Chains A and B, each alone.
Chain A
Amino acid sequence: MNFKGILSQFNIVAPCRKYGLSLWQCPQFLFLIMGGIIIVSSLATYAIGNRYIEDPLIIALVVIFITTLLFIIAFIITQSFERLVEANRMKSEFVSIVSHQLRSPLSNLKWVIELLMSGRISSVSEKQAEYFRILKENSERMKELVSDLLTISRIEQGKLSLKKERISLQGLIEKVIKELEISAKVSNVEISFDSEENLPQIIVDPDQIKLVIGNLLDNAIRYIEERGKTEIDLKKKNDNLYVEVKDNGVGIPKDDQKYIFQKFFRSANIKRHQTEGSGLGLYIAKSIIEKSGGKMGFKSQEGIGSTFWFILPIK
């Protein structure tokens, strides 16, 4: 195993790399070096002490020298910690600024378009209404992309704060199905939902879980060609509630399967809605489920369909 391999095993430099800090600025790495120096110096002090046991002055000088060295390294370590904290602070400040800077013009766009579409300023011809609709859809897309990016940034910083409410997962799924009913009809997709009876309620953030279910269902509808069916299954498995979203759509090619939960990844065989979708949905969905104490996975076969599942603990 080479040096880099060993380091990655201990996950020492990963957090530093995230903030673009070099190895010698990384506190974890410096701690390792300091540990090494302590060990080496202890052994050296013993050896030297043994050799010059008649001459305590030399021993004292050696000890003083090594102690000074250790103090200097400790000082460098605290400085690198400061740099890490600063980098973190700048990153969250950046996100906060960007979210505001991007969202302000977006909300202005949205409201002005609504005003124009309402006909209150002047009457709107059919052609105009069509173009306004295009404007509105595009600004909605941008707004969702910015929201997704914000969510991802919070996930990566570990700042995704989830509300906690006691809800019925069955009710939540039914709500999502209702919202996507029209979209499913337009795509000629039939949605069926089968749930066990008398399932216990769970404590989750309903908005976030709704986002997850919506994402899985939307994907199922989106990746079905022509006409098809998506089946949702909800049941209790041990101490968890198990949800499955199955579709008979295009499926995920075997080579793409290991990348499916990565940010911005979109499978090559997208047949429909080629320009929509940011590739962020599954990454966010998996992060939310894991943060809620659950697990998410899938199985898929190209040309046959995909089944995405997740479990949430019953507490």
Chain B
Amino acid sequence: MISALDGETGLRVAKEKKPDLILLDLILPKIHGFDVLKKLKGENETRDIPVIVLTNLEGLEDVEKALKLGATTYLVKVNYSLEEILEKIKKALG
């Protein structure tokens, strides 16, 4: 498990390490999670990595935008227990 503290680092690490799954928050320092998502889905090396958006923003517009940009699932942190998040991760990994 690798963690990145901001979008740019995350993108770099994703390209280098090619993880099986990415958990992406939306409110990040420097650039917004949506921009990170766009870049992830725009680059060949990272396009096929499933992305779960994990955030506390719960507006319908944000959910739609994330799914449209290619996120696999959109989870609002406060609504899920750890067990439930683990389930969703297992499911996304197939």
Contact = CB atoms under 8 A, between A and B. Distances in A.
Contacts of B78: 103, 106-107, 110, 143, 146-147
A97 to B, nearest CB: 9
Contact of B82 (A115, A146, A147, A161): A115
A89 to B, nearest CB: 15
B74 to A, nearest CB: 15
A100 B57 contact: yes
B72 interface: no
A111 interface: yes
A99 B79 CA distance: 13
A110 B58 CA distance: 18
A114 B56 contact: no
B81 A103 contact: no
Tell me what chain A mostly uses at the interface: helix, strand, loop, or mixed.
helix
A104 interface: yes
Nearest to B54: A107
Contacts of B59: 96
A104 B56 CA distance: 7
Which among B27, B56, B60, B83 has the greatest number of chain A C-beta atoms within 10 A?
Answer: B56
Nearest to B27: A100
A99 B77 CA distance: 12
Contacts of B60: 161
Contacts, number: 31
A103 to B, nearest CB: 4
Which among A99, A107, A115 has the greatest number of chain B C-beta atoms within 10 A?
Answer: A107
Interface residues of B, number: 12
B56 A99 contact: yes
Nearest to A154: B59
Contacts of A111: 81-82
Nearest to A102: B56
Contacts of A106: 78
Contacts of A143: 78
A128 B82 CA distance: 20
Interface string B23-62: 0000100000000000000000000000000011111100
B57 A107 contact: no
Contact of A103 (B56, B82, B83): B56
Contact of B77 (A107, A115, A146): A107
A253 B93 CA distance: 57
Given A103-B56, A114-B82, 18 more contacts: A96-B59, A99-B56, A99-B57, A99-B58, A100-B56, A100-B57, A104-B77, A107-B56, A107-B77, A110-B78, A110-B81, A111-B81, A111-B82, A114-B81, A114-B83, A143-B78, A146-B78, A147-B78
Interface of B: 27, 55-60, 77-78, 81-83
27 contacts: A96-B57, A96-B59, A99-B56, A99-B57, A100-B27, A100-B55, A100-B56, A100-B57, A103-B56, A103-B78, A104-B56, A104-B77, A106-B78, A107-B56, A107-B77, A107-B78, A110-B81, A111-B81, A111-B82, A114-B81, A114-B82, A115-B82, A118-B82, A143-B78, A146-B78, A147-B78, A161-B60
Interface of A: 96, 99-100, 103-104, 106-107, 110-111, 114-115, 118, 143, 146-147, 161
- 10 shortest A-B CB distances, which residue pairs? A107-B77, A103-B56, A107-B78, A114-B82, A103-B78, A111-B82, A100-B56, A143-B78, A100-B27, A161-B60
